[in-house]
Amino acid sequence: MALLVVKDLHVSYASPKGELRAVHGVSFDMQEQETLGIVGESGCGKSTLGLALLNLLPPQGKVTQGKILLDGEDILSMQGEKLRQVRGKMVAMIFQDPMTSLNPVKKIGDHFAEAIRAHDPEVTKEEALEKAGTILNQLGISSDRLNDYPHQLSGGMKQRIMIGLGVALDPRLLIADEPTTSLDVVIEAQILDLLRQLKDSLKLSMILITHSLGVVAEVADRIAIMYGGEIFELADVRTIFKNPLFPYTQLLLKLVPNVASKSTSLEWIPGSPPDLSSPIPGCKFAARCPYVFDRCKVDPPTLREVRPAHLVACHLYDEGAK
């Protein structure tokens, strides 16, 4: 059985301009011990999707349709105590900015003790701190740091702590939302290395949300490409990089800078991402797509298996399409 099943998920935000459809009909499955990379630019709905997986949308956000099944249980129908116990224990999350993800008036040790004891009140604070010390050591941090306040730590150290808090309760699924975006490149490499190690040693299942194809190439097994609130392409990492089918993915790959390559010219995609506060009749990418034809402007494509285990939402691959 799949670890996670997302079925036709729709999320909207109330905004001054009206209803903003941040996530629009997203469906995917995830297996145990798999790392799924969700890639897209800002505003494509990837962070909203991440928060929805924890049923943790801000007050103005609402799931209007769809199901999220974790081990067969619908997270969206959970409330109160039941939901609380899923968060952290079943699904944990790491956020983008480690500088603001820790409570400034609490010691690092308190963060761990709170989280561990929130899910197992039997554990004493001392036991929790001991466990926290062991976790920190695994992450390459001295357990003395448990007595530090967040402001005494560097950004890279804080992100390690956040990862430590994420895995502290042995969650079934770890969601990492842009975990390296606000870090320097050397530290980014350290953190990605750490995530790869944990993936193997803890047999983690992970969702890695990022704008960087470089980052997913390093860690992910499968990749979902999001644009305008929808998944347009979903395949294993090699297929996405070697044989992308959706035009946006193809363009995105061309504009990723590659320090290792010989090429010295960089491209870009003309135009800007769609405004999600007004309904778009056809394909969301039609306005920027180089291969656009009439049908794209009126008929939204659906995500379907075009080749084995390679899903694309694009009319170019319809039967008989020219």
Partner 1 sequence: MSLKSYIITRALLTIPMILLLATIVFLIVRVLPGDPALLHFGKTVNPAALAEVRHALGLDLPVYTQYFNYLTGLFQGNLGIAFSNEQPVAPQILSAFPATLELTICSMAVAVLVGVVLGVRSSRKYGSKEDTVIRTFGVVIYSIPVFFSGLILIAVFAIGLHWLPAGGRISTVPPLGGSILGFHIQTGLYTVDSLVAGNLPQFVDVLRHLILPSVALGLYISAVFIRITRSNMLETLGQEYVTAARARGLKERTVLYNYGLRNGLLPVLTIMGLEFAGLLAGAILTETTFAWNGLGTYIVTAITDRDYIAIQGAVVFFGILVAVVSLVVDILYAYLDPRIRY
Partner 2 sequence: MTSILAMQEVKKHFPVKRSFIEGLVGTKAKQVRAVDGVSLDIIEGETFVLVGESGSGKTTLGKLALRVYLPTSGKVIFEGKDISALRGKGLKDFRKSAQMVYQDPVAALNPRTRIGEAIGEPLRFHGVRDSSARRERVLKMMRKVGFDPAEDFFTRYPHEISGGQRQRVVIARALILEPRFVVADEPVAMLDVSIRAQILKLLLDLKGEMNLTLLIITHDIAIAKYFADRVAIMYLGQVVESASKDEVFENPMHPYTKALFSSVPVPDPEASRRRLIIKGEIPSAITPPPGCRFNPRCPYVFDRCRVEDPMLRRSGDGHLVACHLYDRAGQRAEGEHSH
Residues in touch with partner 1 (CB under 8 A): 51, 54, 56, 58-59, 84-89, 92-93, 95-97, 100-106, 114-115, 118-119, 149, 151, 162, 165, 169
CA triplet 296, 302, 304: central angle to 5 degrees? 125
Stretch that binds partner 2, among 1-9, 112-120, 126-134, 186-194 (CB under 8 A): 186-194
Shortest gap between Cβ of 303 and partner 1 (angstroms)? Answer: 28
Q: Which residue has the tokens 């699904």?
A: 91
Tokens of 308: 């084995």
Least separation in angstroms between residue 208's CB and partner 2 is: 12
User: Which of 258, 293, 302, 305 touches partner 2 by CB under 8 A?
Assistant: 258
Nearest approach, Cβ of residue 86 and partner 2 (Å):
31
Amino acid at 315: H
Site for partner 2 in 263-302 (CB under 8 A): 264-269, 272-273
Q: Enumerate residues 22-41 that contact partner 2 by CB under 8 A.
A: 41
Which residue in this structure is represented by tokens 């062991």? Answer: 134
Q: Which residues are paired to 29 by β-bridges?
A: 5
Answer with the entry of partner 2, partner 1, none that 298 interacts with (C-beta below 5 to 8 A by kind): none
Binder of residue 104, out of partner 2, partner 1, none (CB less than 5 to 8 A by kind): partner 1
User: For residue 111, what are the CA distances in angstroms to 118, 128, 132, 148, 215?
Assistant: 11, 10, 9, 11, 28
Give dist(CA 105, CA 107) in Å, integer. 7
Tokens of 105: 């008036």
Residue placing its CB nearer to partner 1 in the complex, 25 or 61: 61
The string of DSSP codes covering 200-229 is HHTT-EEEEEES-HHHHHHH-SEEEEEETT
Q: How far is CA 25 from the centre of its chain?
A: 17
Contact region with partner 2 (CB under 8 A), list: 46-54, 163-171, 261-269, 300-308: 261-269
DSSP for residue 269: -
| Window of 52-60, 73-81, 88-96, 188-196 that interacts with partner 2 by CB under 8 A | 188-196
DSSP H or E run through 19: strand 18-30
Give the residue carrying structure tokens 């399409």. 321
Residue 166, SS3 per DSSP = helix
Closer to partner 1 at the Cβ: 27 or 181? 181
Q: With respect to partner 1, which residue has the nearer C-beta, 56 or 256?
A: 56
Give the binding site for partner 2 (CB under 8 A). Answer: 41-42, 154, 156-157, 184-190, 192-193, 196, 211-215, 217-218, 237-238, 241, 252-253, 255-260, 264-269, 272-273
